[in-house]
Amino acid sequence: MIDFQLHLPNSLEDAFALLEQYGDDARLLSGGTALILQMKQRFAQPGHVIGLRRLPGLGDIGETADGGVRIGALCSQRRVETSPLVAGRLPLVAQAYRQVATPRIRSMATVGGGLAHGDPNQDPPPALIALGAAAILSSAPDGNGNNGGQRILPVEELFLDYFDTDVRPGEIITGLVIPPAPAGSGAAYLKFLPRTADDYATVSAAAVITRDADGHCREARLVLGSVGLTPIRATAAEDLLRGQPLTDATIRAAAATVPAAVDPLEDHRGSVDYKREMAQVFARRAIEQAAGSAAG
């Protein structure tokens, strides 16, 4: 392990000041499940680690005025998975967090740390993107005396590249806001993990489907994980579904566009071709499941 100085600020203001003071030599620490490993392997060698655990007010889960859910960045992933509010309002979110590794890791890993980590193999991002969730990024007051800034960034726009996010220098993710699921919509998150139950996905797919009264697809959101440098929204498939009857033929036609939309990396979980094929299969199953549970 490398030498570093640990700072444990008691307020967001103090955390911003430390970020300002130590700049590129500082890293934020939430659950530590990713950062500590990176430090042990010397992928990260910060001289200063800013632990966020003592920051007040970032560990709550509550409802938003429009019936959605707001989750503090320091909430453990286990807490999200087991929250009655999340399970009642947004079962897809509970389902996706429940797929993360093991209860032990979920008890340490946080919502904010997971988003900032930017690993395209993570489970929550496809579901969060399918639901239109947004991250809250907070920053210090500027030198002109303006209040501290807050950027509300769709999770879809957060991931820029492999392990690279749009969390800018000086910013801290302080929360996550998820709008209510569309009325009558159905949703599914499927994780294909043929190796061990606590592995990262070989391929994952999240779908949110809304039906018209006549059973046609009014709106479709389909997001794939583990098959590119970032989570990938399958917009061609969504376009083919919108306005169409949700038959086996339409769903298969939509899923058939997925191999061209993804760009998997070959690794010990499978070849590029295998992952493309599995992406199509899991996209189809996720759409079927979501469509099956959507009320007409």
Give the residues lining the site for ligand FAD (CB under 6 A). Answer: 27-35, 37, 52, 73, 100-101, 105, 108-110, 112-114, 116-117, 119, 122-124, 167, 172-173, 200
**Residue 6 Cβ vs ligand FAD, minimum distance, rounded to whole Å:** 13
Give 33 or 95: the residue with its C-beta nearer to ligand FAD.
33
Q: How far is the CB of 26 from ligand FAD (least distance, A)?
A: 9
Q: What angle do CA 63, 177, 94 make, to 5 degrees?
A: 75
Compute the 3-state secondary structure of the chain and give helix, strand, coil in percent, each to the nearest 5: 35, 25, 40
- Which one, 28 or 86, has the nearer CB to ligand FAD? 28
65 exposure class (CB count in 10 Å sphere: 0-12, 13-18, 19+): exposed
Q: How far is the CB of 45 from ligand FAD (least distance, A)?
A: 13
Considering beta carbons, is residue 255 or 278 the nearer one to ligand FAD? 278
DSSP lists the bridge partners of residue 189 as 206
Phi–psi pair at 256, nearest 5 degrees: -65, -15
Distance CA 225, CA 95 (A): 15
- Give the integer Cα–Cα distance in Å for 42 and 36: 10
Q: What is the CA radius of gyration of the chain?
A: 20
CB of 235 to ligand FAD, least distance (A): 23
> 110 or 257, CB closer to ligand FAD?
110
Report, in Å, the least distance between residue 232 CB and ligand FAD. Answer: 16
Q: Which is nearer to ligand FAD, 114 or 270 (CB)?
A: 114
